[in-house]
Amino acid sequence: MTEQPDWLNNFVGIYNKLDKETLYLLAEIYHPDIEFRDPLHGISGLQGLSTYFSDMYSNVISCQFDIQHSLSQGDEAALYWTMHYRHNRLGKGRNISVEGHSFLKVQDGKVILHRDYFDAGSLLYEHIPVLGMGVRWLKARISGEQTGSKDNKGAQACPKF
């Protein structure tokens, strides 16, 4: 396995230390002009990101990232991960696991661009009462339609709504 740059090792190490008591560490890994994007949020600047993390961690019981794979070249990197978290208001506080990946770009030794990709339904919507039942039903229906179609000669079917 190729050795990763120090900034990436530092990023991963600090990310796994984060909780509501250690959010001051964000300034060690994020550039003051950070642009953070995920399927649910778009945040500019370290102050905005710090506020976002503070709000998020106020209800999180635990959150840990298991990094399966990382790639880096120059000032960019990609991380492939599974997030394991427990939240007071989601899934009755049970462990929820979500797979995703992050694209990172560094400037002056700190991450200036962080773009996360994950299934927002698996992270959030499936664990909200009533709404979650509908999301799970829709995902199962789409999945069943795609794998159940035999008349398309092996091509993946388009979902029927």
Q: What DSSP string runs through 88-151?
A: TTBGGG--EEEEEEEEEEEETTEEEEEEEEE-HHHHTGGGSTTHHHHHHHHHHHHHHHHHH--T
For 119, the token pair is: 């299934």
- Residue 12 pLDDT grade (very low, low, confident, very high; cuts 50, 70, 90): very high
0.75 exceeded by the pTM?
Answer: no
What mean pLDDT value characterizes the chain? 80
Question: How many structural domains does the chain have?
Answer: 2
Residues 75 and 133 occupy one common structural domain: no
What three-state secondary structure class fits 2? coil
Name the residue with tokens 């979650």: 132
pLDDT, one tens digit per residue, over 133-157 is 555 565 566 666 554 444 555 554 4
Residues 111 and 136 occupy one common structural domain: no
Across the range 25-29, mean pLDDT stands at 97
Residues 95 and 135 occupy one common structural domain: no
Alpha helices in 38-90 (DSSP H): 46-57
Q: Which residues of 132-159 are buried (b: 16+ CB within 10 A; e: fewer)?
A: beebeeeeeeeeeeeeeeeeeeeeeeee
Rounded CA separation 20/58 (Å): 7
Is residue 161 included in any domain, yes or no?
no
Is residue 1 included in any domain, yes or no?
no
pLDDT, one tens digit per residue, over 64-73 is 889 999 999 9
Rounded to whole angstroms, what are the CA distances from 22 to 16, 18, 53, 139, 155? 10, 5, 10, 36, 49
60 is in which domain, residue-wise?
6-118
Of 24-28, 64-68, 157-161, least confident by mean pLDDT is 157-161
Rounded CA separation 73/105 (Å): 10
- Residue 11: which H helix or E strand, with range? helix 6-15
Residue 83 reports pLDDT greater than 70: yes
pLDDT, one tens digit per residue, over 85-127 is 787 766 566 787 888 999 999 999 999 999 999 766 555 545 4
